[in-house]
Structures are given as C-alpha cells and as structure tokens.
C-alpha cells in the first residue's frame, strides 16, 4: 500500500511538473521562434540603402541585409528588432524601409534618390512578405508556423511628421484616424493570411526629438525654420498633439481589433511610455553624462548636413537620440528588452489582449 501511495504521489508530482513546464513554454506568446517586423527607419536594416545603391530597384526576394547595414542602422548600431532577436534567439525577418509610411494612399513621400515614393507598409512591405512566405504548419522553405511566428509593426514616425500630416503634406481629406485605421488594416490582412500573433508598437514621443525641438541645420527637414516661423515650442506642441492623439486612438482601437481577430494573440507595446521612462530616469539607461536633449551624430552646417558629413560624439551611448530623429542604441535596447518581455507577457509597458 505504501508503494502504491508513493507511486501515486510520484506520478502526480511528475504530472504537475510537466504541466508547469508546458505552461512555461506557452506563457505569453508561446513557443516562438521567428519575429517578422514591418516599419520605417527605426526598424530598417538596409532595404532603403539597397534601393539607393541600385537606381531605385527593390531588393531581391528573401533579401538579407549586410553585416554593415545591421551594425550601422539608424541607431548608429543595431536597431531594436535585431537586439530583440539577439536577446531571444529568435530568427528575424525584417521588411522595414527607412522613410516608409503606413500607406502611400494617405501620406506619400517622394525621394529623388530612388525616383519614387518611399515604399510603404501597405503597398510594399506586407505584400513582399506574402510573396515570400506562406503561413502554414507544414515545414518547408518559405513556410512559417503561425504558432511560432510573432508579427510586429512600428510605423508612424513619418506618417505623423514633417512632410506628411504635421505639415499638411498629405492627400486631401486624410486625417489621423486614417493612419491608425491603416495600421489596423495591415494586422487584419496578415491575420486573414494566417498570422495569429501580433505586437503593435505605438508612436514614440516625437515632440521631444531634436528634429522638432531644435532650429538650425538638419539632415531631414530643410524647410524646418520656415514652418510655424521656426517657433520650436509651437512645432513641438503641434507634433505632441498628433502623437498623443494617435496613441489615444490606438488605446481603444487595438482591443476592438483583437476581439475581431478570433483565436489571435495581440499586444500593444507602449513605446511612448518606454521613451518617457528613459527621460525620467536617464542615468538608469544611458551612459554618463546622460543627455536626453542633444544627439550623438550631428551636422553643424547646412553644407555638412547635405553631404552627410557628421561629427559623432566619442560616447554616443550617453544620448537618448542618435541623430535629430532616431533613437540611439541604448534607447533601442530598452525597447528591445521590453519587446522580449512582452513575448512572455511580462512587460509592464504592454497591454495584452489574450
């Protein structure tokens, strides 16, 4: 009888342990092995660079960025998605394009260097993914298991900013909700294609980026000093209104979208609050002496900006911003860390809809 009791206890303990391990494996987004990302320069690893170097031609199917592009992205080093891939060990498939918006049907932006509009998430990035991959549990080249792939989108820096909604350079009648609807539409499109796991990153506090707070020479906005008469306070305030309004829409739109997408797992990662946390506690995240106002890679004359002759601070890791518009490696690392936590449903900066 004692033997039978011990055997029963042992089996029960083993069963409980196995169940616990299974719960661990499936915690959050589950047993993920692949990250598929869409976005703009905050996420790009060389797609736009390829186009600029090849007469505007799109990258070939299954484009693989060079190591130089990976290590010299818009952050001055690795972008957040690559860091998240390194942290988790998950494969990274990256369709982001610098300069991209959600849709060129809303806020098209022309680039002479490619003799066309920046490729957008709706018209290029998602279709390119669908061209290259099938979502199925069948193992084979180009196939992605929907149970093991997480799809992330971080777009809005260009849609809301200079050359688009901020400066009223959008198509007639376009408003902020059209932008957020476009983001939701891409998630819905991917879901209908077979994807089931999604993380949407909201808009960073662009109103605090030097691009919107500081006058003078600028890589990305030559007409800045003429906008709102160069009033930096007014420019920053208007940008802030756009950003906070878009994020407020996301706050209510994403849970409604998640309810619509039956059987999906959806999270909204609050990039805005992640940046605000770094602003509030810079010494916790940046090297000393921490600087959240300036930026590491500068051009101090218009001639230098036009020729991309930058001066880089000897300690770029002390800055929140790499240049006027892009977060540095340290900031990108914090975003990546919270993204990795969100995969396990452990980030305090994420809201989960499953």
Helices (H), 228-290: 232-260, 271-280, 282-285
150 three-state secondary structure: strand
Virtual torsion, Cα 107, 111, 115, 118, nearest 10 deg:
-50
Domain 31-272+332-345 maps to which CATH number in 1.10.150, 1.10.8, 3.90.25, 3.40.50?
3.40.50
Residue 289, preceding peptide bond in cis (omega within 30° of 0): yes
Backbone angles phi, psi at 292, to 5 degrees: -105, 0
Within 13 Å of residue 15, how many CA atoms lie on the same side as its CB?
A: 6
Q: Are 269 and 339 in contact (CB under 8 A)?
A: yes
pLDDT for 27 equals: 82
Buried-state track 162-197, b at ≥16 Cβ within 10 A, e below 16: bbbbbbeebeeebebebbbbbbbbbbeebbeebbbb
pTM given for the model: 0.92
Distance between CA 319 and CA 293 in Å, rounded?
8
286-332 pLDDT, tens digit each: 999 999 999 999 998 989 998 889 999 999 999 999 999 999 999 99
Helices (H), 26-173: 47-53, 67-71, 80-88, 126-132
What totals of helices (H) and strands (E) does the chain contain, helices first? Answer: 12, 14
Token pair in block for residue 41: 């320069």
Where do the domains of the chain lie?
Answer: 31-272+332-345
Minimal CA–CA distance to 61: which of 117, 150, 142? 142
pLDDT for 103 equals: 98
Backbone angles phi, psi at 126, to 5 degrees: -65, -45
Q: Are 47 and 95 in contact (CB under 8 A)?
A: yes
For the chain of 354 residues, list the mean pLDDT of each consecutive stretch of 10. 41 41 65 98 98 97 97 97 98 98 98 97 98 95 96 98 97 97 98 98 98 93 92 97 98 98 98 98 98 96 90 97 98 98 98 97
Backbone angles phi, psi at 260, to 5 degrees: -70, -35
pLDDT for 45 equals: 98
Helices (H), 29-175: 47-53, 67-71, 80-88, 126-132
Distance between CA 214 and CA 8 in Å, rounded?
71
pLDDT for 26 equals: 61
Q: Are 49 and 69 in contact (CB under 8 A)?
A: yes
256 three-state secondary structure: helix
pLDDT for 251 equals: 98
232 three-state secondary structure: helix
| Pairing of the two strands 116-117 and 110-111 | antiparallel
Residue pointed to by tokens 């598929």:
36
96-129 pLDDT, tens digit each: 999 999 999 999 999 999 999 999 999 999 999 9
Q: Classify the C-alpha dihedral 324-330-333-334 as positive or negative.
A: negative
Distance between CA 33 and CA 136 in Å, rounded?
14
């Amino acid at each position: 009888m004692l033997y039978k009791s011990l055997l029963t206890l042992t089996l029960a303990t083993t069963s409980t342990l196995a169940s616990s391990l299974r719960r661990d494996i499936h915690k959050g987004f589950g047993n993920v092995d692949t990250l598929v990302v869409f976005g703009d320069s905050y996420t790009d690893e060389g797609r736009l660079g390829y186009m600029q170097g090849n007469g505007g031609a799109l990258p070939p199917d299954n484009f693989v960025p060079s190591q130089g592009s990976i290590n010299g992205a818009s952050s001055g080093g690795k972008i957040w998605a690559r860091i998240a891939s390194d942290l988790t060990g998950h494969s990274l498939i990256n369709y982001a394009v610098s300069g991209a918006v959600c849709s060129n049907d809303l806020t098209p932006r022309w680039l002479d260097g490619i003799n066309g509009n920046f490729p957008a998430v709706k018209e290029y990035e998602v279709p390119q993914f669908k061209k290259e991959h099938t979502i199925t549990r069948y193992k084979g080249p180009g196939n992605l298991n929907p149970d093991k792939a997480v799809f992330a989108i971080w777009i809005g820096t260009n849609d809301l900013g200079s050359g688009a909604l901020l400066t009223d350079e959008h198509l007639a009648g376009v408003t902020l909700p059209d932008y957020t609807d476009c983001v939701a539409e891409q998630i819905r499109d991917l879901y209908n294609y077979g994807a089931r796991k999604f993380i949407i990153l909201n808009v960073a506090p662009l109103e605090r980026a030097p691009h919107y707070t500081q006058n003078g020479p600028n890589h990305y906005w030559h007409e800045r000093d003429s906008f709102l008469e160069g009033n930096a306070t007014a420019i920053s305030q208007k940008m802030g209104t756009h950003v906070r309004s878009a994020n407020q829409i996301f706050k209510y739109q994403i849970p409604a979208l998640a309810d619509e997408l039956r059987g999906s797992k959806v999270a909204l990662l609050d990039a805005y609050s992640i940046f605000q946390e770094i602003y509030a506690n810079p010494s916790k995240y940046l090297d000393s002496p921490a600087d959240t106002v300036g930026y590491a890679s500068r051009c101090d004359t218009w001639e230098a900006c036009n020729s991309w002759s930058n001066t880089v601070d000897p300690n770029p890791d002390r800055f929140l911003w790499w240049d006027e518009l892009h977060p540095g490696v340290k900031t990108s690392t914090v975003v990546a860390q919270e993204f990795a936590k969100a995969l396990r449903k452990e980030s305090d900066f994420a809201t989960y809809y499953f």
